[in-house]
Amino acid sequence: MHQQVLEIEGRGRGFTDVSDAVQRVVAASGVRTGLCHLFLQHTSASLCLTENAAPDVRADLESWAQMLAPDGERRYRHDDEGPDDMPAHIRSLIAGVELTVPIGAGRLLLGTWQGLYLWEHRRYPLRRRIVVTIHGA
């Protein structure tokens, strides 16, 4: 087993491709066949596996999330860190904070059009931590 924490410098709301960073952890582990588990140590961002070729997919996902959990909604009581605070928690809960991807031949077995993304739900840049745990042989 191999474990490493990735620190990702955010740019604010939106998607950051972490596929290459995770692949480097897989390669360093020496595991040829197994599983790569990712866990995000935060409650206002998410991890997702989605389209990596067409940026419009990620833009549409962000638009959908804004409709689902709009900033500044008067029904929200929790706004300790601003009007995007509670919506970020809702989006994180729906999109999730963990993923598991198979490893084969020492590589993540992602599909042709799949990428691993940190999906930031807060408006401003934050540093995020992803625990990457590799199991296998």
Q: What single string gives the DSSP state of each residue in 81-105?
A: T-TTHHHHHHHHHHH-SEEEEEEET
How many C-beta neighbours within 10 Å does residue 18 have?
Answer: 21
CATH of the domain at 81: 2.60.120.460
Nearest to 89, CA basis, from 122, 117, 124, 63 = 122
Nearest to 67, CA basis, from 48, 82, 50, 87 = 87
pLDDT at position 125 is 96
Average pLDDT over residues 113-121: 98
* pLDDT, tens digit (0-9, with 9 covering 90-100), for 52-82: 999 999 999 999 999 999 999 999 999 999 9
C-beta of residue 115 within 8 angstroms of C-beta of residue 20: no
Task: Please give the residue range of the domain that contains residue 128.
Answer: 2-136
* pLDDT, tens digit (0-9, with 9 covering 90-100), for 6-19: 999 989 999 999 99
Q: How many domains does the chain have?
A: 1
What strands, in cross-sheet order, belong to the sheet with 114-120? 14-17, 114-120, 45-51
pLDDT at position 34 is 98
